[in-house]
């Protein structure tokens, strides 16, 4: 009876939209630090989406690799909360890194939405392809958590040399089931991020990474996406890793796996 009453209140009180916003997007406007605080050279980047939203990001040049990682971050915080992760990848991978904030996050204008994040992704790709120091044939899309859904959508629209998904989920509806198993709200949500419906269309080399102890996105989501994906594909489970510590628990071994994956992706792209 309580659940029926609660669901009725959501439906009649207009609370589904409010719950949806709190469930999906957790932006933070304050930039707590910059790559300079980690001893990294970088550029402050501002660029504009097709619908007129000004976005902010960081360009961190690599140390020898010709690859560029375009980083689609998760639903919480902003780019400054990824600095430790950025530093580790920069030091051990040597690739260029471009990470930006979606609309409503950090110094980016606007308000977050599913369609908005797709506009943001399109604009970030356009910006990168316009840089003279970027090889447009060697851009890797990296999506973490919510960013994995954005990265998959981008990979259906734009070419990339490889696609990496960290802690990906099947869809918002499936996440609602996992997070609110006794409250059947999945079908009521307007935001879809239906990665499962899109993953089979990806033709770039795919690496899915998931923590075996992920407390937010069930490990089975990553496995099911892997099963639905087309070749070439790889799955890398990290024992003991939770949702936000893949790079810490995975450590150098995971980054070495990334380097091997990159090498194979570049070789495949160079093959006739």
Q: Which of 145, 148, 167, 171 is catalytic?
A: 145
145 is catalytic: yes
Length of the chain counted residue by residue? 272
Measured between alpha carbons, how far is residue 21 from residues 24, 67, 108 in Å?
A: 6, 35, 18
The answer to whether residues 175 and 169 touch, using CB atoms and an 8 Å cutoff, is yes
Q: Which of 120, 167, 214, 221 is catalytic?
A: 214
Residues 6+ apart with CB under 8 A from 22: none
The answer to whether residues 188 and 18 touch, using CB atoms and an 8 Å cutoff, is no
Mapped onto helix, strand or coil, the DSSP state of residue 250 is helix
Q: Which of 159, 179, 243, 245 is catalytic?
A: 243
C-alpha to C-alpha distance for 243 and 216, rounded to whole angstroms = 6
- Extract the tokens encoding 245: 């510590």
243 is catalytic: yes
> What are the φ/ψ torsions at residue 82 (nearest 5 degrees)?
-110, 15
C-alpha to C-alpha distance for 148 and 141, rounded to whole angstroms = 9
Peptide bond connecting 232 to the previous residue in cis, omega within 30 degrees of 0: yes
Catalytic residues: 145, 214, 243
């Amino acid at each position: 009876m309580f659940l029926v009453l609660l669901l009725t209140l959501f439906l009649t009180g207009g609370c589904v939209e409010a719950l949806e916003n709190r469930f999906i997007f957790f932006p933070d406007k304050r930039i707590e630090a910059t790559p300079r605080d980690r001893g990294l050279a970088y550029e402050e980047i501002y660029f504009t989406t097709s619908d007129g939203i000004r976005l902010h990001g960081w360009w961190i040049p690599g140390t020898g690799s010709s690859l560029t990682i375009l980083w689609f971050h998760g639903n919480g915080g902003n780019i400054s909360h990824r600095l430790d992760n950025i530093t580790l990848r920069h030091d051990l991978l040597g690739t260029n890194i471009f990470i930006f904030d979606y609309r409503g996050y950090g110094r980016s204008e606007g308000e977050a939405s599913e369609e908005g994040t797709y506009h943001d992704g399109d604009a970030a790709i356009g910006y990168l392809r316009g840089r003279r120091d970027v090889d447009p044939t060697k851009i890797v899309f990296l999506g973490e958590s919510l960013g994995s859904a954005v990265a998959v959508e981008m990979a259906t629209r734009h070419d990339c040399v490889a696609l990496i998904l960290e802690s990906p989920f099947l869809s918002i509806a499936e996440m609602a089931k996992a997070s609110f198993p006794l409250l059947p709200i999945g079908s009521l949500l307007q935001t879809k991020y239906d990665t499962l419906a899109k993953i089979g269309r990806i033709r770039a080399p795919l690496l899915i990474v998931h923590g075996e102890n992920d407390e937010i996105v069930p490990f089975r989501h990553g496995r099911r996406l892997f099963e639905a994906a087309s070749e070439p594909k790889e799955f890398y489970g990290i024992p003991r890793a939770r949702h936000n510590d893949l790079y810490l628990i995975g450590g150098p071994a995971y980054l070495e796996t990334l380097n091997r994956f990159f090498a194979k992706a570049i070789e495949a792209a160079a093959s006739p």
